[in-house]
Chain A
């Protein structure tokens, strides 16, 4: 790890310099394995947050989870200069490959990480695909990449971001806090007629509810790709 930065009080981005890294696609993962001196080891799969540029670094954003034996080490203990045991890039299903179709991204909490890699890859490639991100987050201070998302909405043509707060909104916010529902997905997503590619990532219950609503709204289930992560990652 060459450097680390806090995105929120409980989420840290690790910048990794990986020798012989072959490059990765937005949405792919890295498996991180930690091994204790007594041989006990624990492995977790983390989405890559960064878009790949030749000769570049690989970034992971880790949300600290209560009782998360791996996540709390990565957020609170690991220091720049230390080494990590990695395997990757892995996964080829929850991946955006730059197709021309419009894209709807729906994130619950730290499920935004692989979707951010897609937004960054599109921005780097000056992509023209219409992109919409609906990002459900507990409160303003929990928003990952808030500054960069605001900048990209201004600078990346065709990117829209809608934040949906579940517990607490900014003071001047018009909508009351609440979970993403039919109205949010209908208003801020794409109409099913546009046949968007849809990527949904978040906790299991969030992913299930969102995918069910999208299908009920008329989206083609085969265009909806999902990724669920557990509470202990």
Chain B
């Protein structure tokens, strides 16, 4: 059992928002280790910045890793099978009546 983490994915919101066009902390990441879906905000995060490691709250496998440096960022997502990102419903264009 790994202990000693201090934060959760809520604290990654700012760095992820610089990379993605949407708020990624609301996205649901499915853990490649155990298959458990979790909001990115609910992942357990070890720091300190600029290198953050986000682990699954179920099995503690690494789901995301984010390293921020001046002018660039590395995002390692190999611990996630998928990221489900909610998008606003597209308004269906109405044809001529």
Interface residues of A (CB under 8 A from B): 29, 31, 42-43, 45, 87-88, 90-94, 204, 225-232
Given contacts A29-B13, A29-B14, A45-B13, contact A93 B26 (CB under 8 A): yes
Does B5 make an interface contact (CB < 8 A)? yes
Does B82 make an interface contact (CB < 8 A)? no
| B7 & A229 in contact (Cβ 8 Å cutoff) | yes
Least distance between B14 CB and chain A CB atoms (Å)? 4
Least distance between A25 CB and chain B CB atoms (Å)? 11
Given contacts A93-B39, A94-B41, contact A230 B7 (CB under 8 A): yes
Interface residues of B (CB under 8 A from A): 5-11, 13-14, 17-18, 23, 25-26, 39-42, 44, 47-50
Contacts of B9 in A (CB 8 A): 93
Contacts of A93 in B (CB 8 A): 9-10, 23, 25-26, 39-42
> Of B6, B25, B44, which one neighbours A231 at CB under 8 angstroms?
B6
11 A-B residue pairs with Cβ-Cβ distance under 8 Å, sorted by A, are: A31-B14, A45-B11, A87-B17, A87-B18, A90-B14, A91-B10, A91-B13, A92-B26, A204-B5, A227-B10, A230-B47
Contacts of B42 in A (CB 8 A): 93, 225-226
Can you list the 9 inter-chain pairs with the closest CB atoms, starting with the nearest? A230-B6, A93-B41, A92-B23, A90-B13, A31-B14, A91-B13, A90-B14, A228-B8, A45-B11
Main SS of the interface on chain A? strand
Given contacts A93-B39, A232-B6, contact A87 B26 (CB under 8 A): no
Contacts of A90 in B (CB 8 A): 13-14, 17, 23
> Of B23, B26, B49, which one neighbours A43 at CB under 8 angstroms?
B49
| B14 & A227 in contact (Cβ 8 Å cutoff) | no
Contacts of B23 in A (CB 8 A): 90-93
Separation of A198 and B7 alpha carbons in the complex (Å): 19
| B8 & A226 in contact (Cβ 8 Å cutoff) | yes
> Of B6, B10, B14, B49, which one neighbours A204 at CB under 8 angstroms?
B6
Given contacts A31-B14, A45-B14, contact A228 B7 (CB under 8 A): yes
